[in-house]
Amino acid sequence: MRLEQLQAFLAVTETGSFQKAAQCCGVTQSAISRQIQALEADLGAPLFHRTAQAKLTVSGDLLLPRARKICQEWQNAAQDVAQLVAGKQPELCVAAIHSICAHQLPPVLQQFCRDYPNVQLRVTALGSDRSLKVLKDGLVDLAIVMNNRFLTMSPEMVVQVLYEEPIKVLIAAAHPLAAYPAIPWSELTKYPQVVFKDGYGMQRIVQEQFERRGATLKAALELNTPDAFKGVVRQGELVALLPETALVEAYTDPTLAVRSIASGYVGVGAEPLTDPPLTRQVVMVTTRDRLQIPPIQHFFSLVVDHLAQVTQVLPLAPVGRNG
C-alpha cells in the first residue's frame, strides 16, 4: 500500500468519479484506475461499485475514515518537517556542565533569545556523561561537556573543541596545604577528597590520577555543584580538585584558597614518566542532522564565537568528527 493509492482513493470518493479525480490530481484517468486497482489488490476487496457514479462498497466505507486519518497524519508530518528545516522548531534543548551554565552560557542564551524569539530555549545542568546520554537518546539538541572520546566516537556525532583549562586544588584558607604555592601529589593524596558524583567527567579524571600514582582515593563525599563544593571545603580538611571555571568565585573568597598542582614525575617501574599539567577539555557535541537545522546551527555558532572572544587558554579547534 502506498500513499498515492490512498490519495487516489480519497479523490474518487470525494468527486464520485474516476475522471474528476484524475483532473483534481493532475494525472490521467488510467493512472487513477491503476492506483485504485492496486489498492484493491492489496486489500483483497473491491472499494467502489463501478457504476455511472463511483460509490463506495462496504470495504470502501470501512477504509474511508482510516485513509483520511493516514493522509492527514502524513500532511501534518510533512508540514512539521518543512517547518523544522525552515528554522521554525518549537524549542531547542541544551545540556551543559554546571560551570558552563554559570559562567559561559548566559550571554549566549540572551543573544539566542533575541535572534529566535519564537523558539523556546531549555537548558539543563548535568554531568558530562549524563549529558551525552540524553543527547544520544534524542532528549536534547546539543551537549556542552568535558570531552569523553569513548562516548563521542559515533560517525554521526560532531564534536567542537571549545577550550582546555587547568584543574586546580580547592581548600580552606587555613588548610595545611595552603602553605604550598603548588601542591605536590605526594601531599595531595594524603587528604580526604570531595568528588563529583557518577556521571560527571571530573570524577573519572580524579580517579584516574590517583590510580596512576598507585594511591587510594579517599572519597569522603560526593556532590554535583561547584557551590556545594565550596560550602563543604571551607569547613575543614576536605580537598577538591576542580576546573578553573568552577573556581571563579573562590579566588575572591577569603575563607578559601586555590592552588595549582606541582608538576613532577610519576614513577612507573624503572622508567619515570613526566607528569604533565592536569587539564580538562571542554567540547560542544551535537549530531550532523541537527547541525543542519537553522536555530541549532545558530546556537552552535554563538557558543563558538563567544568562547573565541572570552577564552584565552587555548585557541578553538575546527569543527570536525570526534574532536
Mean pLDDT value across the chain: 86
- Specify the pTM: 0.70
Pairing of strands 219-223, 256-261: unpaired
Same fold, 91-161+280-310 and 164-279: yes
56-to-7, 15, 39, 42, 277 alpha-carbon distances in Å:
15, 12, 14, 17, 79
DSSP 197: P
Q: What percent of the chain has pLDDT over 90?
A: 47
Give the residue with greater pLDDT, 53 vs 162.
162
Buried b (16+ CB within 10 A) or exposed e, 88-115: ebeebbbbbbbbbbbebbeebbeebeee
Least confident of 126-130, 245-249, 311-315: 311-315
249, 230 contact by CB (below 8 A): yes
Task: Give me the pLDDT at residue 310, please.
Answer: 65
* Top-confidence residue, 148 or 166: 166
Q: Which fold has domain 91-161+280-310?
A: D-Maltodextrin-Binding Protein; domain 2 (3.40.190)
Select from 280, 279, 278, 282 the least CA-distant residue to 307.
282
pLDDT given at position 315: 38
Distance of CA 262 to the CA centre of its chain: 35
Q: What is the DSSP letter of 276?
A: P
Give the ranges where 86-195 is alpha helix by DSSP (H). Answer: 98-99, 105-115, 128-136, 185-188
Burial of 202 (0-12, 13-18, 19+ CB in 10 A): buried
pLDDT band at 109 (very low <50, low <70, confident <90, very high): very high
In this prediction, residue 269 carries a pLDDT of 46
Residue type at 89?
A: Q
Other Cβ atoms within 10 Å of 214 Cβ, number: 10
> CB of 128 within 8 A of CB of 291?
no
Asked if the 164-279 domain carries CATH number 3.40.190.290, the reply is yes
Give the residue extent of every domain in the chain. Answer: 3-85, 91-161+280-310, 164-279
Confidence category of residue 103, pLDDT binned at 50, 70, 90: confident
Of the candidate CATH numbers 1.10.10.10, 1.20.120.1200, 3.30.70.890, 3.40.190.10, the domain formed by 3-85 belongs to 1.10.10.10
Q: What is the mean pLDDT of residues 209-215?
A: 87
Per-residue pLDDT, averaged over 15-31, amounts to: 89
Per DSSP, helices labelled H in the chain are 3-15, 18-25, 29-43, 58-85, 98-99, 105-115, 128-136, 185-188, 201-212, 226-233, 294-310
